[in-house]
Structure 1
């Protein structure tokens, strides 16, 4: 299973300004596998140590954090000699030993020649009290679930993958139905590596109920984390986290997907749940998409902090959380009508994030018009509308183009690519071409 982040890791390895690397992300996104695969393929030796339930490592990091003391202990635990010229050090589940995170500062300052990667959950790495996160002393990469492009790669669909990589909209039109077939699979399976691997191993006789059980188990694992780090929680905090998490499918099924506190429970207020939202963000379980007050460059300075949308990390998990049966998506075009387009917007959101964009959204004052997403492409803003079907009515998009004098816009739908004046129509599977195509 190939991951696009491997190329970023290779760049990190060869960078003359290389610092210790923190590879973080939500649980079950494949961080351990990626770090180990990188070590096996780019180094002569791999010194891998898991800090999960590792009393020896806890004891090691209780003492001096100077690399000359730590390296012999890590080498002994990994069972390999550590040579800075050809050995990658991987400290896995680093959140279990908080001082191991702090030690990265000393590697950066005193032993920068040693390539070292610390992997762990986003929240666990940053939350511990009395431990200093080495700000400015580490490089950070975040691993997300597999994108649709990576899903195609895992499925061995090399021809489709090449069309995407070439941003070849003519060939997308030719093979549109094939693309849509695999997009439906992706909407069911999502990008969590275990679910994807199960799909790949059993295709074409896939037991989608088994994949749903895998997704449910991952979701239960996230729930179990809600009660972790109790010293950092106000009373009743795990319950509020669970209530917030449970509300997300309802929030995203509304026509207006602006986050509403009263959709959590009647009478809910921001002061009760804002910390819970931040905790889910810190865990990489949700993405917060802020509203902007106007569609102008640069978007960040026009952010309206009082309005936002929340999306989950993976479209397959959202499908499972919403109780949408795989057959509803796989049979016909129901995926694009289910839950008022929640899955379609979720797909576009996570694909934009994985492609390196920082999405926003916009509504006018009375919410008559809305842009589902807005991104920056080079020195311009690009409005994006997501259509959960074949009806390309774009009243809000055309209104925004005229109001803000925008030269172009993108509309994603289940149809093949086309160009309609200032609006570029792209299929839902083609987010990856935004960085490659002159729009």
Structure 2
């Protein structure tokens, strides 16, 4: 299979060039491309690679039995497989699927102190596994979280160059509308991306065949694999509860009020019994949690009601795969989003914001129709973000901007099917530019993107 370029490629290159690099842990949900990305990097940068997969080769879980020091681990590996070579300064040890052997993290301190070999660990962070890994290696590792492909990576996979995103960003910074050809092309590609999601194997299959043929089967198999992971790594009553939460996400997103209601998951379900289930799914990378702000003001962290939240899939392609057959077929064949239109665009926006490093927050005022989809921030201002599936005026956003009750809100961003524009302190941009929002606001902070002529009231 042709390798698909990833953002992680640049990160790994920078890590290798750091003379003070620590052992690296690449974490993320299953099948987002961790192993293939690390293997490609390893082949290009090391004369010798020792790869161990703790799921496929459980015998290697014994390599820490005689101690966690670098010499003890290397000796144990050599005893199990004497063909593996260890060349100081030229060898990468790649420990894969470390959730199956969290104790390996204890060795990272000793490999960091030893310094003869580079170490990369990778795995799906499920259940208690990563908490054990974190406690066993604190201070002696670097973390990198990998996601499924974002829209920029999808464009690379489709043959577009790295300058494509730069060109899009220039349009946003200059508030210069896209041409008709640009709008048509990028909107079509973006809808394909919404249907496919960003799992590399699914994207590669679609590019190889030039169709969606077989992609739904691949996505649904991935759903089955995720459900099997829950059964494998969770015990007791929580297993059924986590599965119930996971399986109820699509139907709750399809409703007008997308707040996730635990009471709808099972008869008599109470939030305190399900709190850990949501946390488990979030830590696994399977879902993104969007928390309800107590009040729309800075700082965002800690300023939320822990009992109110929305749940989105970490990859929107999985959401599409969980739709009923008729809706999924209609979406693929006719690009008709039906009742799921609002949910799909809101989900893809949440995914893009999360992948670009934002926490997810929304606001719903009690006893009021005032509700805002998302919030991000500049250095100084709180910025509401509205995702419009249909034509509309973003009434809640304009209320937030106009009211003296929210002094940190001076302008907002509306994502829609149309072109770039601005009106009454609202900057509008196409859905397909969502992945650039963080870069745009950094340009705004640097004075290189006015967004609006006058953000002051």
2:189 aligned with 1:182, yes or no? yes
Could you state the TM-score of these two structures normalised by the residue count of structure 2?
0.87
2:206 aligned with 1:199, yes or no? yes
Tell me: CA distance 1:209–1:250, structure 2 relative to 1, closer, same or farther (3 Å): same
- 1:255 aligned residue: 256
Report how far residue 330 of structure 1 moved: 4.8
In 2, Cα distance between the equivalents of 1:199 and 1:315?
Answer: 16
- 2:242 aligned residue: 241
Map Cα deviations across residues 355-398 of structure 1 (whole Å, 9 max, x no partner).
11112111112241111000123343211000113x03210010
Root mean square deviation of aligned Cα:
2.5
- 2:86 aligned residue: 82
Unaligned runs of 5+ in 1: none
Does the Cα contact within 8 Å between 1:49 and 1:74 map onto a contact in 2? no
In 1, Cα distance between the equivalents of 2:115 and 2:216?
Answer: 44
1:67 to 66, 70, 87: 70
Does the Cα contact within 8 Å between 2:374 and 2:384 map onto a contact in 1? yes
2:17 aligned with 1:14, yes or no? yes
Give the match's secondary structure for 2:66. Answer: coil
Tell me: CA distance 1:224–1:159, structure 2 relative to 1, closer, same or farther (3 Å): closer
2:154 to 147, 151, 154: 151
Report how far residue 260 of structure 1 moved: 0.7
In 2, Cα distance between the equivalents of 1:155 and 1:15?
Answer: 32
2:286 aligned with 1:285, yes or no? yes
Moved over 6 A (4+): 128-131
Give the match's secondary structure for 1:48. Answer: strand
- 2:314 aligned residue: 313
Does the Cα contact within 8 Å between 1:163 and 1:172 map onto a contact in 2? no
Map Cα deviations across residues 153-187 of structure 1 (whole Å, 9 max, x no partner).
11113388345564434473440011111111111
1:420 to 419, 423, 430: 423
Report how far residue 114 of structure 1 moved: 2.8
- 1:267 aligned residue: 268
Does the Cα contact within 8 Å between 2:361 and 2:374 map onto a contact in 1? yes
In 2, Cα distance between the equivalents of 1:130 and 1:166?
Answer: 38
- 2:414 aligned residue: 411
1:96 to 90, 97, 100: 100
- 2:231 aligned residue: 227
In 1, Cα distance between the equivalents of 2:388 and 2:333?
Answer: 19
2:44 aligned with 1:41, yes or no? yes
In 2, Cα distance between the equivalents of 1:178 and 1:127?
Answer: 41
Tell me: CA distance 1:383–1:90, structure 2 relative to 1, closer, same or farther (3 Å): same
Tell me: CA distance 1:89–1:407, structure 2 relative to 1, closer, same or farther (3 Å): same
Does the Cα contact within 8 Å between 2:177 and 2:421 map onto a contact in 1? no
Tell me: CA distance 1:254–1:349, structure 2 relative to 1, closer, same or farther (3 Å): same
In 1, Cα distance between the equivalents of 2:227 and 2:309?
Answer: 23
Aligned residues: 430
After superposing the two structures, state which structure 1 stretch, 242-251 or 297-306, moved more. Answer: 297-306
Q: How does 1:294-313 map to 2 (within 5 A)?
A: 294-313=295-314
- 1:172 aligned residue: 178
